[in-house]
Structure 1
Amino acid sequence: MVSTAGENAAVYDVRLSSVVPASITGEDKVHELSNMDLMLKLHYVKGIYFFRSGAARGLTINDLKKPMFECLALYSTLSGRIRKSEDGRPFIKCNDSGVRIAEAKCSKTLDEWLAFNDDSLNDQLIYSQFLAPDAEFTPLVFVQFTWFKCGGISIGLSWAHIVGDAFSASHFINMWGQILTGQVPPHHLDTHNPKNRKKFPSPLAKVPLSVQRVLLESDGGHWLIPNHRKMRAHSFHVTPKQLNRLTEEAKLAKPFEVISAVIWKSLAKTSGKAEEPKVVTLISSTWDKENGLPSNSRVIISTIEAAEAPPAQADLADLARLIARKQEDETHLVERVMYQKGSDDGESRDFILYGARLTFVNLEKMNIYGLKMSGHHQPVFASYSVSGVGDEGAVLVLPGPPPGTESGKDEGGRVINLILPENQLDELKYRLGSEWGIH
């Protein structure tokens, strides 16, 4: 077991500091938050990277913090703090308050840590703090450097989703790595930020299927929802061989579609008929470049309904085809409902997206192994997850370790990160192993 608290804690000697941009942003600069930004304010992106000792040999915490100053000069929004306008709408004041840096030590070797295969333990490697009620003082981004007993190092990233999606987070830490390894950063980052405060002609009659209205505490509460079920995280690695077999069985469906179909079908059997998820949400992105400012404007939200046959009984190929072809785009509706004010009876203006329904997140194209450290070392393993997931759970599909890493014996493969109710997760793990050979 890994101790998580007290004198015998595996991760200890945690020290905090701040890093600010290398150059002054300027007076009175603000970043208006879009409707999509505000829809995602109760969610947080979490990234974790593991490196062997050669990647960090000779590096001190000051060596790791130094390129962050220059990096934040490009990403000035990330050093800002949440404020509220007179009408109560949050925005970011770009006041160069900085991001928080945590440095820590671990009593385990890197191999020992990875051998635990317990995703919940990685929270010790990702320092985080939820926004509100003191959002005026809380950083939007946290980066934790943890040294293992063997000399290896992990980099944990906690990122408020309100400032950008998972692709934005990955690009940011990759940029830090480029500066660390001596590459010259661009003079500026490209902007892809349509008009933030879109206006819509009329209110929606009902909330879109993909989101759920939630009620925070009367004082505004922390920007994190309380779950009614005990949630747990777990990850699987689908090898290239397993992936080829699944795509063939699903009549050459694409990897994300067939993985989503397998888990949807398996969870439908697990949940029981009364709770069978017949409508699910898909989240994807149109990110196509590294050097862009953080944004949620490329997030695409769709729903899929299994109207003809219950998912538990559906053929795998038919379910994968449904995911590929029957997506109902709700992106515009989600932005529109966020634009509307609460009703006269005090209806909440706060929503969740991840876990409002069973949510599948396509992160296949994320360049998570693009982060390099000294000597251009790649991570031996990297992964992303999301916190603030609702009770219906979320499934993230990420690229597996590429060739050249210790885990990437073959090109391809996928990592599946699950955040599900604990009672469903245990049975799902059994079904994926016994029916599909995924362990």
Structure 2
Amino acid sequence: MASLPNLETPLESLRISTVVPATPRGEENGEYNLNNIDLLMKLHYIRSIYLFDSKAVQDLSISDLKTPMFPLLDLYSHVSGRVRLAESGRPFIKINDAGVRVAEAYCDKTLHEWLDENEFSIDGLVHDHVLGPDVAFSPLVFIKFQSFKCGGLSIGLSWAHILGDAISAFNFITKWSQTLAGQSPPKSLHKPNLTKPKFLSNYISDNPISIKKATVVDEYWLAANESYVATHTFHITSKQLQNLITSYTSKNSNTNGKTKYFEIISAMIWKYIAQIRGDFGPKIVTICTTNISKRVENEFPTNGVILRKIETNLPPQESHISELVKLIAEEKMNEDDAIGKLLEESEGKEDFIVYGAKLTFVDLEEADLYEVKLNGKKPIMANCDFRGVGDQGVVLILPGLEDDGGNNGRMITVSLLGKELDQLKYKLEREWGINNCSSRGF
């Protein structure tokens, strides 16, 4: 089953406070209407962390860290709101200045010790946050500041996906760090023009299979899993990535040099998961992109996710990586119309799983995770995962560590059934020398 927040954990070492917009709205409470794509993502949560060494945190108090949030929430007013249900049962956000929650914690370990024990896990660095049991009183955003014995700091963001996609979440915390650095927030945010992308095929399904209806746990906005879903992050160094690319290109004479790292890594993991599942290996997967290059500066949070289905009649476990790369690059099938029809028919009252309804690959390799800065310094490590993942699993492809050349390496955060994840670790170590993340090099 999907785990719920541990409501019985003692809070002696944890302080919770609320930050509200700098300018009170008084009785001028507005409403923010959630569109169908927002509601499609209602059971998912985006969690990102940013780890800074003591030099980056020097002379910054918790008050300094919280102060920029007040003017920032003037800009992101709906982020401070709370979910309400219309008479029809359709959720919307009441803009009532209820605020975002801030958690403050202290760890008696150093950053190095934490990373040695926890690798690059997000658990513990992000507040355990889901909407419910009474969504009308549930914050949409939690920010956790955890100080370490060495003077280092982690910043953990938990962001309800109904507010916007991962890029929107990253932009929010980046804008906070810019405000902290003394930059004035913009007077307004640009509403994006969410035009439909050019279809990659003429295929239109009447029954979309990249999403599925979900069972919700009690009154929490979180779906149930049939089995335990575990999460782990792999770090592909720039050298390992080049070896993978060399292996792919040497066996693919038709390569045009335009293949993305995302496509190669996704193909490799697809093949391995298919081998692990055997006859049940996924012949259908979902590709999730966000059109990062078309996002504009100071953009209003939005769910600009693009879902595409890939289906093959060949067993992926026996296919060469180059064959799967070609499928990912050229054979993505559009289900927009079918998904839109299903959402319209549900009138915003049905619950769906997107990530993990089918094995899902999420392209975030061009995300600006390392644009969050303290005292002008980038984090020594940043990572992201999703909560509310279905049993089929999700794979996030993220930028690599800055000290490994940034875009020359990759972080891969994988959520799978526990036994499958253990086998994937073994395969990646045996085939490519890609092992568990650790604090080596910090």
The normalised TM-score by structure 1 is 0.89
Q: 1:216 is paired with a residue of what secondary structure?
A: coil
* Pair 133,437 (structure 1): closer, same or farther in 2 beyond 3 Å: same
Q: Taking every aligned residue pair, what percent have the same amino acid on both sides?
A: 45
Deviation at 1:226, TM superposition (A): 1.6
**Residues 80-114 of structure 1, C-alpha deviations (whole Å, 9 max, x = no match):** 10001111100001111100000000011001111
Deviation at 1:57, TM superposition (A): 1.6
Residue 231 of structure 2 aligns with an amino acid whose one-letter code is: A
How do 1:50-199 residues align onto structure 2 when only pairs under 5 Å count? 50-120=51-121, 122-192=122-192
The residue that corresponds to 2:263 in the other structure is 257
Q: 1:171 is paired with a residue of what secondary structure?
A: helix
The residue that corresponds to 1:291 in the other structure is 298
How do 1:217-366 residues align onto structure 2 when only pairs under 5 Å count? 221-251=219-249, 252=257, 253-273=259-279, 275-287=280-292, 288-296=295-303, 298-307=304-313, 309-341=314-346, 349-366=350-367
Unaligned runs of 5+ in 2: 1-5, 196-203, 250-256, 436-442
Deviation at 1:118, TM superposition (A): 3.9
Tell me, in whole angstroms, the C-alpha distance in 1 between the residues paired with 2:128 and 2:78: 18
Unaligned runs of 5+ in 1: 196-203, 343-347
* CA RMSD after TM alignment: 2.1
Residue 261 of structure 1 aligns with an amino acid whose one-letter code is: A
Tell me, in whole angstroms, the C-alpha distance in 1 between the residues paired with 2:118 and 2:34: 37
The residue that corresponds to 2:199 in the other structure is none
CA contact (8 A) 2:42 2:160 kept: yes
CA contact (8 A) 2:288 2:306 kept: yes
* Pair 240,119 (structure 1): closer, same or farther in 2 beyond 3 Å: closer
Q: 1:132 is paired with a residue of what secondary structure?
A: coil
Q: 1:415 is paired with a residue of what secondary structure?
A: strand
Deviation at 1:205, TM superposition (A): 8.9
The 4+ residue runs of structure 1 with deviation greater than 6 A are: none
Tell me, in whole angstroms, the C-alpha distance in 2 between the residues paired with 1:277 and 1:113: 36
Tell me, in whole angstroms, the C-alpha distance in 2 between the residues paired with 1:107 and 1:392: 37
Count of paired positions: 408
**Residues 303-358 of structure 1, C-alpha deviations (whole Å, 9 max, x = no match):** 10122x2100111111101100000122343232112138xxxxx82110000010
CA contact (8 A) 1:100 1:142 kept: yes
CA contact (8 A) 1:25 1:76 kept: no
The residue that corresponds to 1:45 in the other structure is 46
The normalised TM-score by structure 2 is 0.88
Residue 16 of structure 1 aligns with an amino acid whose one-letter code is: I
User: Which of 407, 424, 428 does residue 424 from structure 2 map onto?
Assistant: 428
